[in-house]
């Protein structure tokens, strides 16, 4: 006795020949192929084609997924052109498990909505379209240009787009740069402006559609992207059953950058380090670095500071590993808290070397507009956080509570959060040696010093270890050091 197979409600297929022959009576599933068609998606998951089956012809892009250690590389081939995308493995696996696999199996996604946030150029919109390409389903994009001047015009256009998507399930509805429609409402005693009234009407419309899609287990996914903070999105949209907790699409790590470069035949670790430390997103890596190099031009690598934090990596100086003869290396493997009572620049130069010697990268935070995103990035990559200790107790508490990785506080004011131990500049210098410390500072502040000057600095500083913080801090602030500087340091 054979199992009964339900009729196909809808199938997404790619025609393989000019003859579009539909094999009625055939049992199909994702990946089914014959001489005429290839099935990209079927509903139900396994079904029989009948005359009542709705046939949707779609395009096909070959997608090769390559797993790296910490990332997933996706190579997309369409009409003999290839594009490369690299995303953190944890993020890709979450999206695959919660959103893509349910739709493949003719089930609703884990959550009705998916909110993607992150810096411009990190590939949020591309990720939405990659999901659609992988599934072979359509994307219905809602742009700000649907806004009309007449009352009800915008709502009508939005409703039309969503209804079309629902009638084509499984499908994706994309709100790119979504803050224009999902942003917080502003309430005033006078009732607000016409624009705010329209926004409120759009919110209510979206709430209903998303809630209905959730309750009715529709195979439709609402995706929203924003370059802004997650807090610009109205709180009601960030509830479970709507968009829920956002997924941060972060700047790439060293592995991702090196893979992107090597894919295009560029094998240069120092270039990769410059790119990471400058905070370049993938779009800039392709346009301003890779494409320019392939055209025989100099790459454009300009540091970006717009989000108040940056990922940072330094090549470890071997002697800094001596520090682990005195402190356990394991303190950089859990939620340790460390305090360095010194100048932020000096402390950062040394902390970077110690963290790098422990096999970690760092996230440097210099303001707190995107503090949640910075912590998320550190947790995702297992990076240590370096932050000024003078920050407010409230921000310290946020970092301490939410960071799953080591945090190094640097400054003259001790942090209020619990910390594992103190690290003193003089002690670090005595352990690792003067020359490695001098090299660490020169590398961090970007000063090239010749051998003669290096020897002079080392000789002068070695005789003043009790004043090393004063000497090194003055060097960093001025950008150079000589006998005259040493003469004005208090004895």
Q: In which band, very low, low, confident or very high, does the pLDDT at 190 lie, cut at 50, 70 and 90?
A: very low
Q: Are the C-beta atoms of 117 and 124 separated by less than 8 Å?
A: yes
- Say yes or no: 34 and 104 in one domain: no
pTM, 2 dp: 0.87
Selected residue with higher pLDDT from 4 and 447: 4
Q: Are the C-beta atoms of 272 and 255 separated by less than 8 Å?
A: no
Beta pairing class for 220-226 and 81-88: unpaired
Domain count, the chain: 3
In a domain, 268, yes or no: no
Determine what percent of the chain is predicted with pLDDT higher than 90.
50
- Say yes or no: 67 and 36 in one domain: no
The residue-averaged pLDDT of 446-453 equals: 73
The residue-averaged pLDDT of 370-398 equals: 93
List the structure tokens of 202. 């759009």
The residue-averaged pLDDT of 337-364 equals: 92
- Say yes or no: 91 and 40 in one domain: no
- Say yes or no: 53 and 71 in one domain: no
- Say yes or no: 488 and 426 in one domain: yes
Most confident of 62-66, 185-189, 318-322: 318-322
- Say yes or no: 434 and 480 in one domain: yes
Going from the C-alpha of 256 to that of each of 70, 250, 260, 280, 364, the distances in angstroms are 8, 11, 6, 12, 19
Say yes or no to pLDDT of 435 above 60.
Answer: yes
Selected residue with higher pLDDT from 46 and 418: 46
- Say yes or no: 437 and 368 in one domain: yes
- Say yes or no: 322 and 228 in one domain: no
Say yes or no to pLDDT of 439 above 70.
Answer: yes
Q: In the prediction, which pLDDT does 244 show?
A: 87
Q: In the prediction, which pLDDT does 71 show?
A: 96
The residue-averaged pLDDT of 64-93 equals: 91
Q: In the prediction, which pLDDT does 2 show?
A: 55
3-state secondary structure 33-71: ECCCEEEEEEECCEEECCCCCEEEECCCCEEEEEECCCE
The residue-averaged pLDDT of 276-284 equals: 94
**Dist CA 462 CA 415 (whole Å):** 31
Find tokens 């003999």 and name the residue.
Answer: 80
**Dist CA 387 CA 249 (whole Å):** 22
Say yes or no to pLDDT of 132 above 50.
Answer: yes
Q: In the prediction, which pLDDT does 400 show?
A: 92
Say yes or no to pLDDT of 76 above 60.
Answer: yes
In a domain, 275, yes or no: no
Task: Print the domain residue range for 484.
Answer: 305-491
Selected residue with higher pLDDT from 407 and 441: 407
Most confident of 84-93, 162-171, 441-450: 84-93
The pLDDT tens digits of the residues spanning 247-274 come to 999 999 999 999 999 999 999 999 999 9
Most confident of 26-30, 77-81, 439-443: 26-30
Selected residue with higher pLDDT from 369 and 294: 294
Find tokens 């493949």 and name the residue.
Answer: 104
**Dist CA 472 CA 345 (whole Å):** 10
- Partners of 65 in beta bridges: 74
Question: Which of 23, 42, 59 is the last residue before a domain boundary?
Answer: 59
The pLDDT tens digits of the residues spanning 282-322 come to 999 999 999 999 999 999 999 887 788 989 999 999 999 99
Closest CA to 221 of 119, 328, 99, 133: 99
Determine what percent of the chain is predicted with pLDDT higher than 70.
92
Q: In the prediction, which pLDDT does 192 show?
A: 54
In a domain, 2, yes or no: no
Q: In the prediction, which pLDDT does 478 show?
A: 66
**Dist CA 439 CA 449 (whole Å):** 9
Q: In the prediction, which pLDDT does 225 show?
A: 94
Question: Which of 59, 79, 99 is the last residue before a domain boundary?
Answer: 59
In a domain, 178, yes or no: yes
Q: In the prediction, which pLDDT does 282 show?
A: 95
Say yes or no to pLDDT of 69 above 90.
Answer: yes
Q: In the prediction, which pLDDT does 483 show?
A: 60
How many other C-beta atoms lie within 10 A of the C-beta of residue 83?
A: 13
- Say yes or no: 169 and 24 in one domain: no
Selected residue with higher pLDDT from 240 and 306: 240
Say yes or no to pLDDT of 188 above 60.
Answer: no
Most confident of 13-17, 125-129, 300-304: 125-129
Q: In the prediction, which pLDDT does 421 show?
A: 77
Q: Identify the CATH number of the domain in which residue 337 sits.
A: 3.40.50
In a domain, 1, yes or no: no
- Say yes or no: 464 and 316 in one domain: yes
Q: Identify the CATH number of the domain in which residue 76 sits.
A: 3.40.50.300
């Amino acid at each position: 006795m054979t199992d009964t197979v339900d009729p196909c409600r809808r199938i997404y297929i790619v025609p393989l020949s000019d003859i579009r022959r539909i094999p009625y009576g055939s049992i199909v599933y994702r990946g089914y192929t014959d001489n005429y068609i290839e099935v990209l998606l079927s509903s139900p998951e396994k079904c029989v084609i009948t005359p009542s089956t709705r046939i949707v012809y779609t395009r096909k892009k070959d997608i090769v997924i390559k797993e790296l250690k910490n990332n997933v590389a996706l190579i997309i081939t369409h009409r003999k052109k290839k594009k490369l995308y690299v995303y953190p493995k944890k993020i890709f696996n979450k999206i695959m498990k919660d959103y893509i696999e349910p739709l493949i199996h003719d089930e609703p996604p884990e959550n009705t909505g998916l909110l993607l946030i992150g810096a411009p150029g990190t590939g949020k919109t591309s990720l939405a379209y990659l999901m659609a390409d992988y599934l072979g389903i359509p994307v219905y994009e809602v742009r700000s240009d649907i806004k009309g001047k007449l009352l009800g015009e915008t709502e009508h256009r939005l409703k039309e787009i969503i209804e079309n998507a629902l009638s084509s399930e499984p499908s994706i509805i994309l709100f790119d740069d979504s803050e224009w429609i999902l942003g917080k409402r502003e309430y005033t005693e006078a009732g607000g402006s016409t624009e705010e009234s329209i926004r409120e009407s759009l919110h209510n419309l979206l709430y209903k559609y998303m809630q209905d899609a959730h309750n009715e287990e529709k195979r439709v996914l609402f995706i929203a992207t924003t370059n802004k903070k997650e807090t610009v999105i109205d709180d009601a949209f960030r509830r479970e059953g709507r968009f829920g907790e956002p997924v941060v699409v972060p700047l790439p790590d060293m592995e991702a950058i090196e893979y992107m470069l090597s894919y295009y035949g560029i094998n240069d670790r120092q270039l990769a380090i410059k790119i990471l430390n400058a905070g370049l997103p993938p779009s800039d890596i392709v346009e301003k670095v890779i494409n320019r190099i392939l055209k025989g031009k100099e790459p454009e690598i300009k540091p970006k500071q717009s989000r108040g934090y940056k990922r940072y990596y330094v090549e470890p100086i071997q002697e800094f590993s001596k520090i682990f003869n005195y402190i356990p290396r394991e303190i950089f493997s859990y939620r340790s808290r460390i305090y360095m009572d010194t100048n932020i620049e000096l402390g950062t130069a040394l902390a970077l070397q110690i963290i790098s010697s422990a096999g970690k990268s760092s996230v440097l935070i210099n303001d707190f507009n995107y503090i949640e995103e910075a912590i998320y990035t550190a947790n995702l990559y297992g990076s240590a956080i370096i932050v000024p200790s003078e920050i407010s107790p409230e921000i310290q508490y946020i970092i301490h509570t939410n960071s799953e990785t080591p945090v190094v506080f640097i400054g003259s004011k001790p942090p209020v959060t619990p910390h594992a131990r103190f690290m003193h500049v003089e002690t670090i210098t005595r352990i690792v040696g003067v020359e490695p410390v001098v090299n660490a500072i020169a590398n961090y502040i970007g000063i090239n010093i010749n051998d003669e000057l290096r020897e002079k600095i080392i000789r002068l500083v070695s005789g003043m270890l009790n004043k090393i913080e004063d000497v090194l801090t003055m060097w960093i602030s001025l950008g150079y050091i000589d006998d005259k500087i040493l003469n004005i340091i208090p004895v």
